[in-house]
């Protein structure tokens, strides 16, 4: 993510030592009902309920941020039918000597701790956004999406910014969130600064899910580089949700480094008036290529248990 909604002079955040591993897939249920994951060893995570999510994840950091694990964060919770969330730290804070990864990581740590422990947030992702935001003290900002599934299959979504979620049923996308932007490449974001967005700016959606539905949630590093038809083809190709998440992340990573690829990002940029200089246009050139970024992918399948 490139732009700050507010470009302010802010003090240095507290230091954070990232976990050493950042690429993962396949989760197993642990004794703790809430599992916060930024960067963790591979495992398979089954979410227990009458209707529940089996979730696989994969995270690939920006090539220049591989040693620190990037600025995306996510968590998977087994509460009720399952809770999944992604937060994408705004990289522009680095220009103010602020680590952009601290805000999204603390935000989702707070959200993870609230799930299952606070009755007010347990069935309302928008309230979860509010309380997690209020509890976050790190300087910075992030786009955030949270989806909570009830045992009857009702999925509740709250989204601020350009992280996204798509629901695939029988090979077709039946639901997709829409990105929120101030202008091109400057998404809505929850921030430590008072003039940023709040939980009231979230787009809230409800989707009735059935057994076999596939959810694809991710940061903009996925959706800027992979078209919908590629998401459907890849997510439905694999029985194992961990393998599906890994394949989608790898596809996004490959496209992001391909300077000749007509990516969703380059197509949108040209549609908003961003292109190569006029003299290059005279030579038949145009703006192409993917967008290098942190890439986080969560793939969930609705199962009956």
164-169 vs 45-46, strand pairing mode: unpaired
One of 3.40.50.410, 3.40.50.2300, 2.60.40.420, 3.60.40.10 is the CATH number of 34-257+290-304, namely: 3.60.40.10
Spatial distance between the Cα atoms of 253 and 230, rounded to a whole number of angstroms: 13
Stated as kind and residue range, the H or E segment containing 155 is strand 154-160
Nearest to 220, CA basis, from 146, 300, 165: 165
For residue range 117-126, what is the model confidence (pLDDT) as tens digits?
Answer: 999 998 899 9
pTM summary value = 0.83
Alpha carbons within 13 A on the beta-carbon side of 192: 23
Query: When comparing pLDDT for 137 and 4, which is higher?
Result: 137
pLDDT score for 269? 87
Confidence grade of residue 196 (pLDDT, cut at 50, 70, 90): confident
Measure the CA angle with vertex 301, ends 51 and 33; round to 5°.
Answer: 60
**pLDDT above 90 for 133:** yes
Confidence grade of residue 29 (pLDDT, cut at 50, 70, 90): very low
The residues, ordered by sequence, that sit 6+ positions from 66 with a Cβ below 8 Å of its Cβ are 22
What mean pLDDT comes out for the span 207-211?
97
Nearest to 17, CA basis, from 75, 69, 66: 69
What mean pLDDT comes out for the span 191-212?
95
Nearest to 286, CA basis, from 258, 304, 305, 261: 261
Spatial distance between the Cα atoms of 31 and 138, rounded to a whole number of angstroms: 29
Kindly compute the dihedral angle of the four CA atoms of residues 30, 32, 38, 39, in this order, to the nearest 10 degrees: -40
Confidence grade of residue 275 (pLDDT, cut at 50, 70, 90): low
**pLDDT above 60 for 89:** yes
Nearest to 168, CA basis, from 187, 155, 150, 158: 155
Decide if 204 contacts 125 (C-beta within 8 A). yes
pLDDT score for 194? 84
**pLDDT above 80 for 219:** yes
Exposed/middle/buried for 158, CB within 10 Å: 0-12, 13-18, 19+?
Answer: buried
pLDDT score for 74? 98
pLDDT score for 33? 43
Number of H helices, E strands in the chain: 7, 15
**pLDDT above 90 for 14:** no
Spatial distance between the Cα atoms of 5 and 7, rounded to a whole number of angstroms: 7
Confidence grade of residue 276 (pLDDT, cut at 50, 70, 90): very low
**For the chain, what are the domain ranges?**
34-257+290-304
Please give the share of the chain, as a percent, with pLDDT higher than 90: 73
Place of tokens 């300077």: 259
Measure the CA angle with vertex 164, ends 163 and 165; round to 5°.
Answer: 150
Stated as kind and residue range, the H or E segment containing 113 is helix 102-114
What mean pLDDT comes out for the span 211-237?
98
pLDDT score for 273? 79
Average pLDDT over the chain, rounded to whole?
A: 85
SS3 content of the chain, % helix, strand, coil (to 5): 25, 30, 45
Measure the CA angle with vertex 96, ends 92 and 97; round to 5°.
Answer: 105
What mean pLDDT comes out for the span 210-224?
98
């Amino acid at each position: 993510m490139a732009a700050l909604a507010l470009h302010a002079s802010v003090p240095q955040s507290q230091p954070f030592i990232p976990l050493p591993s950042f690429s993962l897939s396949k989760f197993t249920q642990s004794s703790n009902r809430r599992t916060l994951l930024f960067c963790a060893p591979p495992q398979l995570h089954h979410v227990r309920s009458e209707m529940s999510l089996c979730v696989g994840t994969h995270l690939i950091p920006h090539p220049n941020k591989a040693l620190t694990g990037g600025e995306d964060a996510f968590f998977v919770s087994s509460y009720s039918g399952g809770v999944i969330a992604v937060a994408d730290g705004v990289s522009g804070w680095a220009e103010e000597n602020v680590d952009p990864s601290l805000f999204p990581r603390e935000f989702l740590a707070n959200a993870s701790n609230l799930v299952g422990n606070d009755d007010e947030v347990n069935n309302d992702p928008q309230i979860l956004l509010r309380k997690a935001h209020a509890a976050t003290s790190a300087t910075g900002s992030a786009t955030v999406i949270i989806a909570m599934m009830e045992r009857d299959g009702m999925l509740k979504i709250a989204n601020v910014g350009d992280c996204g979620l798509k629901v695939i049923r029988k090979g077709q996308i039946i639901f997709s969130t829409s990105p929120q932007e101030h202008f091109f490449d400057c998404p809505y974001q929850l921030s430590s600064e008072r003039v940023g967005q709040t939980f009231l700016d979230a787009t809230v959606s409800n989707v009735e899910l059935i057994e076999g539905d596939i959810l694809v949630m991710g940061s903009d590093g996925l959706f800027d580089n992979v078209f919908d038809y590629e998401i459907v083809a890849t997510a439905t190709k694999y029985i194992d949700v961990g393998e599906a998440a890994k394949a989608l992340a790898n596809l996004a990573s490959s496209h992001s480094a391909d300077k000749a690829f007509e990516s969703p990002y380059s197509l949108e940029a040209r549609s908003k008036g961003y292109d190569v200089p006029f003299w290059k246009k005279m030579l038949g050139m145009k703006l192409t290529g993917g967008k290098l970024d942190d890439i986080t992918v969560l793939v969930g399948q609705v199962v009956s248990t």
